[in-house]
Structure formats: C-alpha cells, structure tokens
A and B are shown apart, each in its own frame.
Chain A
Amino acid sequence: MAETAEKLLEVRELTMDFGGLRAVDSVTLEVAAGEIVALIGPNGAGKTTFFNCVTGIYKPTRGEILVNPPGRKKQKINGYKPNRVTGIGMARTFQNIRLFQNMTVLENVMIGRHCRTTTSIVGAILRGPATKRQERETIDRSYELLEKVGLVEFADEFAKNLPYGAQRRLEIARAMATDPFLLLLDEPAAGMNPQETRELDELIVKISKDEEISILLIEHDMKLVMNISDRIYVMEYGKKIAKGSPQEIRSNPKVIEAYLGEGGDDA
C-alpha cells in the first residue's frame, strides 16, 4: 500500500442523503499520488453518488472531502461548485456519456482548456496577439491529447457521430485537457467490447505513468479492475465493505458474497 506517498484526496466519513434514502453512508477513501484506485460494487451501491459528491455536483450531507493539490495548500472542498473542483485539479468522466454532441471532437477537448485559459469577451473580439497565442496553445494541447487517445483522425467530426468506444475515450481526453492531478473515471469500459477494453486498460495505465495523473475509477469490468488497480474499495448499499489490494479483495468473503450472481456477467 502507498501509505507513505502524499495523499491527494482524503474523503472522511462522507454521507449523502436523498430525502429518507441514504445513498452513501459514511465512506472513507484515500487516493495517494501516482495511484490507480478502483471503487467497485454492485449496481446501486452509491458509487456514482460518491463521485458526484466529490466533484461538487451534489453537496454531501456530512463528512469531509480534503484535497491536497501538489504544490498547494490542503483544502476542504465540501460544497464547492463543480467548476471550482475542476479548477483545483480533479476532472471526471460520466457513466452515461455526456459529450457536447453538436460540437466537433476537437472542440470538445478545447472546452476542457477553458479553465486554464483567460480570454475575455473583449479579448475574443479584438483577437490580439495574446489571445491568438492562447488559442494556438489550446489547439495544440487538444490535438496532443487526441493523439494520446487515438482520435486525431476524427478531430473535425461531430462528437455524436463517433462510435461508442471512441466517445468514451474522448471523454477521457476532454477531462485530461483540464490539467488534472486526479482523474475520476465513471465506468470507462461500460459498453465496450473486449478488444476496446484491453486498449482502454493500456490507455489508463499510460495516462497515469506518462502524465503523472492519479486515477480513481468506478468499474464493473473485474478483469480491468484487477489488472490495473493498485488498491480497491468495495461499496454495497452505500457502505464501504472492504478495501485492499486486488489479491486481498479477490479473496475477501464479504466481497464474494456481495458479488454472488453479479460477477459472472462482466467479463
């Protein structure tokens, strides 16, 4: 375990209630620098709700979300708006793909650069040298990311016209364009065929190595999770029921029980 490495994200006893329903119940989770951490569990276990709390889409009922951005002060981000969370350096993808359908693939990635650029309305109208430079940098960086996920040839296509697997990869590229130190992937392999899943597997590892981005992912595909994760957290009915290395999780009786009848259909 990477206990000694610097902790980027510390979530303490996070709880989220919807009316009378407790979707996330006192979950504690940590991600350290350079780690790939997986969050697994049966459908409806509260994983996506957990993500939504961490990324500011929901305001958690209780608990603390502490972020420790490299080179900056540790801060508590409960109740921050999603754009502020992204600004701090945590970017996400969505389980049900949420691309900007009627914009080009390249433009989708360029949106990710929004929070790292500064052109104002006046600047955009005057289009001075500083604006031009920034625009150029945005384009170059976006192409670079498209290359990384293998989508350069589709740069000028509308996002809605991409095949399914490519849309998932575009979501990753778009999130990476925000220069995150932590990438939160919500079921990146959902709906992919085995070939695509294998490629995704490599892509995620490459991102974490080359770009020094830590990764927290929700995933149902056990093979992918076991392959790439350093540590795994397991949730069921809103509660964390286990954590540990892939080997520990594989042999944990609680996990096996939670997955009984579920684990088979994911390979």
Chain B
Amino acid sequence: MDYFLELVCSGLVRGSIYALIALGYTMVYGIIQLINFAHGEIYMIGAFVALIVSGVLTIYGFSGVSILVLAALIAAIYAAAYGYTLEKIAYRPLRTAPRLSPLISAIGASLFLQNYVLLAQTPDYLPFPELIPEFAFMDPIAQRTGLGSAELVILVTSAVTMIGLTVLIKYTRIGKAMRATQQDMTMARLVGVNVDRVISMTFVIGSVLAAIGGVLVGSSIGQINFYIGFMAGVKAFTAAVLGGIGNIPGAALGGLVLGLAESLAAGYVSSAYEDVFAFGVLVIILILRPEGLLGKAVKQKV
C-alpha cells in the first residue's frame, strides 16, 4: 500500500508539471490552432536561465529562498521574452498560410532553440543547485510517501499558478479578450480587440507557466540539459490533448491523469517503457475520444 501511495504521489507531482506546460499548448492552440512545438524549448530555456541566475547569485553570496525567488522571476521574464519573440518571428508571418506551414516552422524553431542552447552552453547535463529548502515538518510525510519538500513546493506552486491563471482569464480585460479571440478571431477584431496583442500575450503567459515548470523540475530532479524540452513538450502536449485541447481545466486534468498513469505504469510494469506508455495513451485518446476528456466535439464546417 505504501508503494502505491508513493507512486500516486510521484504521479501527482509529475502530473502537475505536465499540467503547467500543457497550459501553454492549450492556450496557444485554442487561439491560433497551432501546436507550438517549440513550447518545450521555452520550458528548457526557463530552466537554463534559472540555473545560470542561481549559479551567479550563489557565487556572489546570496542564499536560500532569495535565490529561488530571483531565479524563478528572471527565468519567467526571459521565457516570456523568448515566447514573444518566437511568435513574432516564426508564427506571425504565417498566420494566413496553409496549416502545414506554421507547423513546420514550429518544428524548425524547436530545433533551432535546442541547438542554440546546446552551442551557447553545453551538451552535457548540468547539475541544478538545490534551491528548495528542506522543511522539517515534511520529514514524517516524506518517509511514508516519498513526498519531500521539493515535491510539496511543486504541488503548491502549480496549484497557485493554475488558480491565478483561471482568475486572469475569467476576470481580467486581457482574459476576456483572449476568450473572445478564441471564440471568433474576426469578430473579436471587429469589436475592437487587438488580436495581435492577444496572441502575443497568450505566448507570454504560456511561456511564463512553462518557465515556472522548468524551475520546479530543475530543482527537484537536480540536473538539466538542452534536450529536456523535447520529451517534456511531447508529454505535456499529450496531457493537453488528453484533457481536450483548447480547454484550460482540461489541460490541468490531463496533466494529472497522465502523470498518475505514467507513474503507476512505471512502478508496476516497467520503467523502460514509460515513454512508450505516454504515447500509447495519446494514440488511444485520439482514436477513441479525439475531443479529450473535457473537450466538446466540434463539427468541421463545410
């Protein structure tokens, strides 16, 4: 039973990271119907910036939580800047092009960013400094469930972030503009929504969420390299599809379900085939219920 509990906990932790990244996919897809293949790379860049910032700050004598907060903040700013630039260069000129074009452009952008980090930094795994402090009160829980302080921070942070996002989308001006654009871009433009700005903002928000995910993963797993964005991106996309792409609560749910399923499969079946399992889930979902768990079936307009 303890083993099961442990797997569930690790699944939830993993799933909440997937959920954070999945939100970026879902938001972008909801508005411009594009799989932003480079989203995983934004997450990776977020993790790298956090690593660099915390490395520098440690050397200059900062310590503890201040490093974590500063690193996360700067990582988020940079991820946002990268997301914004990415949209402007690789996607905006293709907004009216056939569907295949932005998709290929996205794959190209993903390759580019991966190799940019590889060349500018290193192909090796870099050890991520331990930023999250050990809370003493977590010790007894950790023994039973494997749920340590880092995991607690991940769960709490992602929960807070997702609630924040929901509030942002439900109640703010930009959130309303985003929903309007998602419903009908032409109509939104007609009623005075600056669609270009909304799309940019969507990328910015999605990128910030991905960067938060990157910082959390880096500090809990302890090492990163230029390639981590690829798998994380694919998994997160799977989560987004699982929940119903374009659907924000769906992305959160999809992330958790995928994380749990993967963790249980790795624990009871075989960890070597963990990634196979994630793809299996994706394929089965797409075949049986392409609209996802929470999505609505959309009839193609003829």
On A, residues with C-beta under 8 Å from B are 18-19, 48, 52, 57-58, 94
Contact residues of B between 271 and 302, Cβ < 8 Å to A: 296, 299, 302
B181 CB to closest chain A CB (Å) equals 22
Q: Chain A residues with Cβ under 8 A from B302's Cβ?
A: 48, 52, 57, 94
In the bound complex, how far is the Cα of B302 from the Cα of A57, in angstroms?
A: 9
In the bound complex, how far is the Cα of B302 from the Cα of A52, in angstroms?
A: 8
In the bound complex, how far is the Cα of B301 from the Cα of A94, in angstroms?
A: 11
What are the nearest 7 A-B pairs in CB distance? A52-B302, A57-B302, A18-B299, A94-B302, A48-B302, A58-B299, A19-B296
In the bound complex, how far is the Cα of B108 from the Cα of A216, in angstroms?
A: 48
Q: Chain A residues with Cβ under 8 A from B299's Cβ?
A: 18, 58
Contact residues of B between 230 and 278, Cβ < 8 Å to A: none
Q: Chain B residues with Cβ under 8 A from A52's Cβ?
A: 302
Q: Chain B residues with Cβ under 8 A from A48's Cβ?
A: 302
In the bound complex, how far is the Cα of B302 from the Cα of A19, in angstroms?
A: 17
A190 CB to closest chain B CB (Å) equals 15
Q: Chain B residues with Cβ under 8 A from A57's Cβ?
A: 302
Q: Chain B residues with Cβ under 8 A from A58's Cβ?
A: 299
On B, residues with C-beta under 8 Å from A are 296, 299, 302
In the bound complex, how far is the Cα of B277 from the Cα of A143, in angstroms?
A: 53
In the bound complex, how far is the Cα of B299 from the Cα of A18, in angstroms?
A: 8
In the bound complex, how far is the Cα of B21 from the Cα of A34, in angstroms?
A: 60
Q: Chain B residues with Cβ under 8 A from A94's Cβ?
A: 302
Q: Chain B residues with Cβ under 8 A from A19's Cβ?
A: 296
In the bound complex, how far is the Cα of B296 from the Cα of A51, in angstroms?
A: 24
In the bound complex, how far is the Cα of B291 from the Cα of A19, in angstroms?
A: 14
In the bound complex, how far is the Cα of B74 from the Cα of A24, in angstroms?
A: 56
CB closest residue in chain B, given A57: B302
In the bound complex, how far is the Cα of B302 from the Cα of A48, in angstroms?
A: 8
In the bound complex, how far is the Cα of B296 from the Cα of A47, in angstroms?
A: 24
Q: What would 7 A/B residue contacts be, using CB atoms closer than 8 Å?
A: A18-B299, A19-B296, A48-B302, A52-B302, A57-B302, A58-B299, A94-B302
In the bound complex, how far is the Cα of B298 from the Cα of A19, in angstroms?
A: 10
In the bound complex, how far is the Cα of B102 from the Cα of A137, in angstroms?
A: 39
CB closest residue in chain B, given A92: B302
A200 CB to closest chain B CB (Å) equals 22
B106 CB to closest chain A CB (Å) equals 22
In the bound complex, how far is the Cα of B302 from the Cα of A201, in angstroms?
A: 24
A230 CB to closest chain B CB (Å) equals 27
A22 CB to closest chain B CB (Å) equals 14
CB closest residue in chain A, given B296: A19
A125 CB to closest chain B CB (Å) equals 27
B243 CB to closest chain A CB (Å) equals 20
CB closest residue in chain B, given A48: B302
In the bound complex, how far is the Cα of B302 from the Cα of A18, in angstroms?
A: 14
A19 CB to closest chain B CB (Å) equals 8
A224 CB to closest chain B CB (Å) equals 22
CB closest residue in chain B, given A23: B299
B99 CB to closest chain A CB (Å) equals 13
CB closest residue in chain B, given A55: B302
CB closest residue in chain B, given A101: B98
In the bound complex, how far is the Cα of B299 from the Cα of A167, in angstroms?
A: 26
Q: Chain A residues with Cβ under 8 A from B296's Cβ?
A: 19
In the bound complex, how far is the Cα of B300 from the Cα of A57, in angstroms?
A: 10
CB closest residue in chain B, given A58: B299
CB closest residue in chain A, given B301: A96
A103 CB to closest chain B CB (Å) equals 14
B283 CB to closest chain A CB (Å) equals 23
CB closest residue in chain A, given B297: A19
CB closest residue in chain B, given A94: B302
A52 CB to closest chain B CB (Å) equals 6
In the bound complex, how far is the Cα of B137 from the Cα of A10, in angstroms?
A: 76
CB closest residue in chain A, given B300: A57
In the bound complex, how far is the Cα of B299 from the Cα of A52, in angstroms?
A: 12
In the bound complex, how far is the Cα of B299 from the Cα of A252, in angstroms?
A: 35
B297 CB to closest chain A CB (Å) equals 8
B52 CB to closest chain A CB (Å) equals 46
In the bound complex, how far is the Cα of B130 from the Cα of A207, in angstroms?
A: 78
In the bound complex, how far is the Cα of B300 from the Cα of A94, in angstroms?
A: 14
In the bound complex, how far is the Cα of B296 from the Cα of A223, in angstroms?
A: 41
A27 CB to closest chain B CB (Å) equals 18
